[in-house]
A and B are shown apart, each in its own frame.
Chain A
């Protein structure tokens, strides 16, 4: 039950984020408008004078936009997490929910927001492909299928959203760093267990995962806690 509440809160925070709104609503709407206008100007036919752009270019362009979107929102989450740690919200949260629920809630909530973003971009890519590429999925070779814009967006998106999860992962690091001032939680094979005392420096670095460089372990972080 508490997990649901954390998921709902994190999802809501993510979708209310300005970066998310720009990259998931405004920019796709703008591109959709461009496609629409292009279609009207060209008279709804691709057999006119101007040649269609190569499909791979369209795919790369859309994937790049998706990447930028995911990257920007990932960075915002990253700074949000750092801010959360700095303002000690996590301490208050851990007095209400387990570390496992808190971590899972963030991953699922932000993951859902990411899924919405991917879906929106896949739909835009689909319409772009329909407009510029007079082909269907059934008629494509494996290589063409991979470079087909909606498919390209979908297989590229997990890599983009890895950035998002790396931000979450950083929270684990940030919290683990909190072992220095008295509290932390550890993500291990058997789940998340609270144990500041046993969290050694080596395990701290090793479990930082995707972006170990964003998880510095500083000796001067020491705060014995009064």
Chain B
């Protein structure tokens, strides 16, 4: 049974249709990538999920702690895109307050908060005011506030923004751990490489409508023209006249090209003339970034 079920949800602001009949589900213990260009309707949908906004049409259902609910704010964690913390409050006090609002007893909230602060190298900042923290540190505090009460569902809107690569890896590691613990994660990010690394399935929204939804590997398969990267020695002249190849780029002893959709990469490699010595070869599916750009720029017909 899905933890989150969004059914034909719509939302308009005056004449602007921010979200139009959007439907998707998030299963227990999965990371669902929630993607879309700026102004696509992501944040509006997330706010409806969080109960901050009411949908004009449709329904949002949760199955949390084995019970179906319209919304149970205590079992949901939320990291908003735009950061929101009390600047003049102390780090530990803030975390305890937010955890208490999520139903955690004060003593347990303090213990959990201290452990999380140690995990994120913020223990020495526990008694400091939030205004003294850097943007990345504040991001860590807000992330802790979102997951401290061990929710069933956590919505992470741009969790990697403002973080250096080391801390991005730390967040990635923690998100994976949360998933392994059975937490459902709705991850919204513009960093396609991170989404690709973390997500099991993706949902792409554009102009308020669903344009891509499903298993990430299946989507890549469906959009899959294979990209070949080759380092060679010898005569590679045949590449420029081979009809199965497009978008050929050659530089020194390297060539990168895309195979036509119907071409089997295995058969192509086996058919390479023997006078071309292959030093290195890699056959890859196009990155999610390319699929995103292609889908958003090339129209919004739905694929599932």
Contacts and interface: CB of A to CB of B under 8 A. Distances in A.
Contacts of B38: 226
A97 B43 contact: no
Contacts of B18: 182, 224-225
Interface size class of B (residues with CB under 8 A): 35 or more
Contact of A88 (B44, B84, B98): B84
Contact of B101 (A5, A89, A224): A5
Interface of B: 11-13, 16, 18, 36-44, 47, 50-54, 56, 73-74, 76, 78, 80, 82-89, 97-98, 100-102, 142, 145
Closest 6 CB pairs of A and B: A88-B84, A96-B101, A89-B84, A95-B78, A92-B84, A88-B82
Given A196-B13, A226-B39, A91 B84 contact: yes
Contacts, number: 99
17 contacts: A9-B97, A13-B88, A87-B87, A88-B82, A89-B84, A92-B98, A92-B142, A95-B76, A95-B78, A194-B51, A195-B54, A197-B54, A197-B56, A225-B39, A225-B41, A226-B36, A226-B42
Nearest to A6: B101
A178 to B, nearest CB: 9
A183 B86 contact: no
A164 interface: no
Interface of A: 2, 5-6, 9, 13, 83-84, 87-97, 179-180, 182-183, 194-197, 224-226
Contacts of B50: 94-95
Contact of A196 (B51, B53, B78, B142): B53
A95 B87 contact: no
Contact of B40 (A179, A180, A226): A226
